[in-house]
């Protein structure tokens, strides 16, 4: 088991250049998702069994399971709301957003991605997607 010891001070949270980097990657991810560009999507996740994604009605443990899942997904469209990119230091960040899918207008989707800078570049190491009935959503 690997232990990471790091201290992030307030000035290291949301350094503008790191937020800009991760924001750009988040938008590239979103474009690839809507285009069903599995090559780009697969490359954005860390390769290995530690990577995980919890979906609305599915779960993938490891990049192989994630690739298999993506291969069977149909294209869709959605509108993002309240997207927040938060970075900690220069190598760790979280992208959070709400969304409405055109095919599920009565639901509010929620997505969070944990990003880590690796020697190969930024990669998603964990993702969570869920939804709730729009009528139950508060504090938007």
Domains of the chain: 14-136 (3.10.450.50)
**CA distances from residue 136 to 24, 46, 54, 94, 98 in whole angstroms, order as listed:** 31, 34, 21, 25, 14
Q: Which of 20, 27, 61 lies closest to 44, judged by CA?
A: 27
The predicted model gives 131-138 an average pLDDT of 84
Give tens-digit pLDDT for 35-91: 999 999 999 999 999 999 999 999 999 999 999 999 988 889 999 999 999 999 999
The predicted model gives 85-107 an average pLDDT of 95
């Amino acid at each position: 088991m690997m232990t990471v010891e790091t201290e992030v001070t307030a000035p290291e949270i949301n350094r503008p250049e790191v937020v800009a980097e991760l924001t750009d990657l988040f938008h590239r991810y979103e474009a690839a998702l809507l285009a069903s560009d599995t090559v780009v999507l697969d490359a954005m996740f860390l390769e290995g069994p530690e990577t995980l994604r919890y979906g609305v009605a599915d779960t993938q443990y490891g990049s192989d399971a994630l690739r298999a899942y993506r291969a069977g997904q149909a294209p869709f469209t959605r509108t993002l709301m309240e997207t927040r990119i938060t970075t900690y230091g220069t190598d760790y960040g979280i992208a959070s957003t709400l969304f409405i899918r055109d095919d599920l207008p009565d639901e509010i989707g929620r997505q969070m991605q944990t990003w880590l800078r690796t020697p190969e570049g930024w990669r998603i190491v964990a993702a969570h997607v869920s939804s709730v009935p729009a009528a139950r959503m508060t504090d938007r």
